[in-house]
Amino acid sequence: LKEELQVLIGISPKEFKMKVKLEMHGKKKEFTTPIFLRKVANALEIISNFIIETNDFKIKIPSVLSMKVADMVNIETNYLLQ
């Protein structure tokens, strides 16, 4: 599998689908999100962006901030595996 990935993934980002299990505040949610993989020197970079709803994870927004904070949160991830 490692050799196959080396051929498949180059320096240009390549899109894949990833099954995610996210748990916060005791709440779990499963979903599929696009990820991008690319080779960086001798490492593998993994980039993903997805949106969660605060209600899905019991995230309480203080009433003072409720007018300024959205119910949807954009999560951006960037990993470098060496």
The more confident residue out of 80 and 42 is 80
**With contact defined as beta carbons under 8 Å apart, do 35 and 9 qualify?**
no
What average pLDDT does this structure show over 66-75?
Answer: 78
**Residue 24 corresponds to which tokens in the numbers above?**
């916060």
Q: What's the pTM value of the predicted model, to 2 decimals?
A: 0.73
Question: Which of 26-31's residues contact partners 24+ apart within 8 Å by CB, and which partners?
Answer: 26/58, 27/56, 27/57, 27/58, 29/56, 29/57
**With contact defined as beta carbons under 8 Å apart, do 73 and 52 qualify?**
yes
Q: Across the chain, what does the average pLDDT equal?
A: 86
| The residue type at 25 | H
**Per-residue model confidence as pLDDT tens digits over 36-55:** 999 998 889 999 999 998 88
pLDDT at residue 3, rounded to an integer: 62
End-to-end CA distance of the chain: 17
